[in-house]
């Protein structure tokens, strides 16, 4: 069985090569091919000898070369590209490339599916299958990085906001981020990385313990206890006031403002009273609010509020001097909300089996 080389630390690669009788300096050459040139085929690594390339081919696999892009969609404005990736074991995950005025960011998934069962989200329609490995998290970014490399562009930001709960796959998520931070890999600064959680407090505390200035985003979505438990069952185990307290501790220790994501659902959590409560809970906190008008998921039955209602909600937060914005919608026409493309893919596969 071949050993997966993608995401393998340099020192481990050096040891693995030495065990095969290859010089350790070859490891740095391979790193350059994989992470700078985005070449995932040993046969194309021209500064390695033919026999060495064959030996590497026989002993190692390179995950990006084995991933199949089963669906790829581009938004009409050309700023968002979404890919559904089929892994070697047949599971599908999705990742999104977004072009901003400051560069390119990639939104990656941390799990195949999700077990959080948020009422408005497509990611959990089929539950969680398994955690992703470090290599699988990295490969999502490098699928796009390989395309950008041809344009002399690169990914400069990564957000772990795709399918799955990152704090339930903590070691792999932060292993991938620390790997991407290395100058000879992605050279992405920690301040250009964001991890979003539904509010898994032990994970927030563990993240704090790492001492890295990674941005923390909290999926809040309601500040009435019964409503949040209805929308997000995780609230029963980790009530939102405790989550806010843990996030504020993280903000104080990291020096990074926490972003609270609040999805706006028509006639559900978008009232004036909801806005007043949200402002009250976040008053004097190192916090910003990202309002997200729902990207409708037909299976869930939620709808987007009217524009006047969105503006009213925003104005109430701003009147209370809370930094708040409405998320710029990217990729709405290509089902760029978490889990929608994978859910459609799974539904198609089920139809074919019947």
Domain ranges of the chain: 3-62, 67-353
Distances (CA, A) of 90 to 12, 86, 176: 28, 6, 22
Contact 122/336 with Cβ under 8 angstroms? Answer: no
Mean pLDDT computed over 234-240: 98
Phi and psi at residue 351, to the nearest 5°: -65, -40
198 assigned to active site: no
Segment 93-112 mean pLDDT = 95
Does 38 appear as a known binding residue? no
pLDDT at 354 over 80: no
* 165-169, 266-270, 328-332: least confident range: 328-332
The mean per-residue pLDDT over the stretch 346-352 comes to 52
Average pLDDT for 120-134: 86
Cα radius of gyration (the chain): 21
Is 47 flagged in the annotation as binding?
A: no
100 is in an annotated binding site: no
As a whole-number percent, the residues of the chain with pLDDT over 90 amount to 84
pLDDT band at 352 (very low <50, low <70, confident <90, very high): very low
Is residue 351 pLDDT above 70, yes or no? no
Query: At which residue do the structure tokens 């109430």 appear?
Result: 316
* 275 vs 269: CA distance, rounded Å: 8
According to DSSP, the residues that pair with 264 across neighbouring strands are: 293
Determine which one of 38, 107, 198, 338 is catalytic: 338
Residue 122: what pLDDT?
76
Number of neighbours of residue 345 by Cβ within 10 angstroms: 16
pLDDT band at 335 (very low <50, low <70, confident <90, very high): low
Q: Residue 30 above 80 pLDDT? A: yes
Which residues make Cβ contacts (< 8 Å) with residue 209, sequence separation at least 6? none
Q: Is 86 a catalytic residue?
A: no
Q: What is the mean pLDDT of residues 91-112?
A: 95
Nearest to 25 by CA among 13, 39, 41: 13
Q: Residue-wise over 237-268: b if at least 16 C-beta within 10 A, else e?
A: ebbbeebbebbbebbeebebebbbbbbbbbeb
* 67-353 has the same fold as 3-62: no
Q: Are 173 and 206 in contact (CB under 8 A)?
A: no
**Which of 94, 107, 136, 198 does the annotation list as catalytic?**
94
Own/partner pairs, 36-45, CB within 8 angstroms, 24+ separation: 36/184, 37/149, 38/142, 38/145, 38/146, 38/149, 40/6, 40/64, 40/65, 40/142, 40/146, 41/65
Yes or no: domain 3-62 corresponds to CATH 1.20.210.10: no
CB atoms within 10 A of CB 331: 23
What local confidence, expressed as pLDDT, does residue 120 receive? 87
pLDDT at 88: 96
- pLDDT for the residue numbered 340: 56
**How many distinct helices (H) and strands (E) make up the chain?**
12, 14
Tell me if 229 is assigned to a ligand binding site: no
59 labeled part of a ligand binding site: no
Query: Is 295 a known ligand-binding residue?
Result: yes
Average pLDDT over residues 283-310: 89
Using pLDDT thresholds of 50, 70 and 90, give the confidence band for residue 300.
Answer: confident
pLDDT of residue 153: 95
Judge whether 153 is annotated as a binding position. no
Mean pLDDT of 277-305: 90
The CATH code that applies to domain 67-353 is: 3.20.20.70
Q: Sorting pLDDT into bands at 50, 70 and 90, what band is 126?
A: confident
| Band of pLDDT at residue 51, cut at 50, 70 and 90 | very high
The per-residue pLDDT for 301 is: 78
Total-model pTM: 0.92
299 annotated to bind ligand: no
Mean pLDDT of the chain: 92
CA contacts within 13 A on the Cβ side of 329: 14
Residue that is written with structure tokens 């991890």 in the block? 195
Q: What is the mean pLDDT of residues 164-173?
A: 98
Answer whether residue 294 shows pLDDT above 60: yes
| Residue 352, burial from CB neighbour count under 10 angstroms (0-12, 13-18, 19+) | exposed
Burial class, 354, CB count within 10 angstroms (exposed 0-12 / middle 13-18 / buried 19+)? exposed
Residue range 151-161: mean pLDDT, rounded: 96
Q: Tell whether the model's pLDDT for residue 289 goes beyond 60.
A: yes
Q: Where does the pLDDT of residue 42 fall: very low under 50, low under 70, confident under 90, or very high at 90 and above?
A: very high
Q: Is the pLDDT of residue 210 over 80?
A: yes
């Amino acid at each position: 069985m071949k050993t997966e080389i993608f995401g393998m630390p340099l020192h481990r690669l050096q040891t693995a090569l030495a065990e095969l009788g290859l010089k350790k300096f070859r490891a740095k050459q391979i790193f350059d091919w994989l992470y700078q040139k985005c070449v995932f085929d040993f046969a194309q690594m021209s500064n390695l000898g033919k026999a060495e390339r064959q030996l590497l081919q026989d002993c190692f696999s390179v995950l990006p070369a084995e991933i199949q892009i089963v669906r790829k969609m581009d938004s009409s404005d050309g700023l968002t590209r979404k890919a559904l990736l089929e892994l070697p074991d047949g599971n599908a995950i999705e990742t999104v490339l977004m072009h901003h005025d400051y560069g390119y960011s990639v939104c990656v998934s941390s799990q195949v599916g999700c077990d959080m069962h948020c009422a408005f989200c497509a990611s959990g329609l089929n539950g969680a299958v398994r955690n992703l490995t470090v290599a699988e998290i990295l490969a999502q970014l490098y699928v796009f990085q390989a395309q950008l490399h041809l344009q002399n562009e690169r990914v400069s930001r990564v957000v772990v906001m795709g399918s799955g709960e990152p704090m339930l796959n903590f070691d792999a998520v932060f292993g991938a981020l620390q790997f991407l931070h290395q100058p000879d890999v992605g050279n992405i600064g920690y301040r250009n990385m964001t991890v979003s959680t539904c509010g898994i407090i032990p994970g927030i505390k563990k993240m704090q313990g790492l001492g890295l200035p990674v941005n923390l985003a909290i999926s809040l979505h309601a500040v009435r206890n019964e409503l949040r438990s209805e929308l997000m069952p995780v609230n029963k185990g980790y009530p939102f006031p405790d989550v806010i307290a843990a996030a504020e501790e993280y903000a104080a220790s990291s020096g990074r403002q926490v972003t609270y994501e609040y999805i706006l659902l028509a006639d559900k959590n978008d009232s004036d009273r909801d806005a007043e409560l949200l402002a009250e809970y976040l008053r004097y906190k190192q916090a910003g609010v990202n309002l997200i008008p729902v990207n409708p998921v037909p299976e869930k039955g939620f709808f987007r509020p009217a524009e006047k209602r969105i503006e009213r909600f925003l104005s109430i937060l701003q009147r209370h001097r809370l930094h708040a914005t409405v998320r710029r919608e990217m990729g709405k026409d290509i089902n760029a909300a978490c889990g929608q493309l994978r859910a459609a893919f799974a539904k198609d596969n089920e139809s074919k089996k019947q």
